[in-house]
Amino acid sequence: MLDLQFIRENIETVRSACRDKRASVDLDGLLGMDRERREAIQKADQLKAERNRASEEIARMKKEKQDASGRIAAMKAVGDEIKGLDERIRNIEGSMHDLLIHIPNIPHASCPVGGPEANRIVKEWGKLPEFDFKVQPHWDIGPALGLVDFDRGSRLSGSNFVAYFGMGARLERGLINFMIDLHVQKHGYREVWVPAVVRREMMFGTGQLPKLEEDMYHCGKDDLFLIPTAEVPVTNLHREEIFDGAKLPVRYTAYTPCFRREAGSYGSDTRGLVRVHQFDKVEMVKFVKPETSYDELENLLGNAEDVLQALGIPYRVLSLATGDMSFAAAKCYDIEAWAPGLGRWLEVSSCSNFEDFQARRMNIRYRPEKSGKTEFVHTLNGSGLALPRTMIAILENFQTDEGTVIVPEPLRPYLGVSELKPGT
């Protein structure tokens, strides 16, 4: 969340951010409450100082055997007024907090302004495959090879859940292991394994709550949420902590299952693996010094690109416009892989810099020097990658005219085969 003093001193910047991110927040109301609160605090402080002086005077009067009943009665009235002011301050602060948590992060100056139509392509990699046969979508290829069963998945849990069989399950597991190994061995991340359910305050810390609560799976009895991404538990690993600045950056990678209701998602995206309610994902999370965070974002993007380049999947990188960016992000790149069977680009990764927005919510700081004043870290995360659409890209880009799928070279040690055939 944004610092209140920053909002006071940069109100037009905050107004612009709310407008560009399509957020409606009563900023004038917030500033009005802030003035009222500060006036109440000033009045309460004056009365408390008066009460302290009176207490000393009453003690002296009692010591000198003087009648202090009048002063005591007057101070009781002052005490009641202070109590009323303190209650008023608490109520104002509660109302202010309800507004503050709905103010989005400030977009970086380099972000395009507008909705999804303003997203800017900043990079393209790989040659789109050409086929001399009719290209099949993954929802035909997968079941034909016995890799994925959409009907049985839906039978177990409802629409948009899937079940993998045989080499389909092994391909899923192989992709996860390949990505984790790449990020650990080549990119220098430390692997972590985290819970798939978290407390409400963890979801608030990374910015999913309150805005996206309707899109989350909630366990009401325990007030726990199934995680929508490993970003939530991994970033919260260091909540309420102070890093030694000499040890930054800290980089983690994690595999988790992810759960999203995908409320409001209709049309062709509900078919196949394009938009499912439970999916696997490998995540990368960074805690860095503010002055390095945008260099770290470019590095993070490169780490995600390495996965697709190793697999030989064509992709493009988009710099997201302000109206298409997440509530908490200051800048975000989307990586989209080419799916020839669908004839479209599919997002497989989002790489974001949140600056100190999440860190303020979680109170994650660092000390530049052992004796120095603490500062908030900058947090970043990126998918490295999301599995369902990566699976789509593999099945559709590497299909053959015989109905088989060529396994990308880096995955062959994990699968033990070079081609996916019926019955494998």
Tokens of 196: 């798939």
The tally of CA atoms less than 13 A away on the side-chain side of residue 322 is 19
- Are the CB atoms for 284 and 189 separated by under 8 Å? yes
250-259/190-191 β-pairing: parallel
Hey, how many other C-beta atoms are within 10 angstroms of the C-beta on 66?
12
Active site residues: 260, 275, 347, 350, 389
Could you tell me which residues are beta bridge partners of residue 386? 281
Tokens of 50: 């008066």
Q: Which residues contact 247 (CB under 8 A, 6 or more apart)?
A: none
Amino acid letter for position 316: R
Tokens of 101: 């948590």
How far is 19 from 160, CA to CA, in rounded Å? 34
- Are the CB atoms for 397 and 338 separated by under 8 Å? yes
Q: How far is CA 311 from CA 220, 331, 332, 339, 394, in A?
A: 41, 27, 23, 14, 8
Distance between terminal CA atoms of the chain? 50
- Are the CB atoms for 99 and 25 separated by under 8 Å? yes
Which residue is associated with the tokens 């009005």?
Answer: 32
How far is 328 from 60, CA to CA, in rounded Å? 57
Q: Which residues contact 166 (CB under 8 A, 6 or more apart)?
A: 146, 147, 423, 424
What stretch of H or E contains 278?
strand 278-288
**CB-based burial label for 368 (10 Å; 0-12, 13-18, 19+):** middle
Detail the DSSP E strand segments found in 134-269: 148-149, 163-164, 190-191, 197-199, 218-219, 224-226, 242-244, 250-259
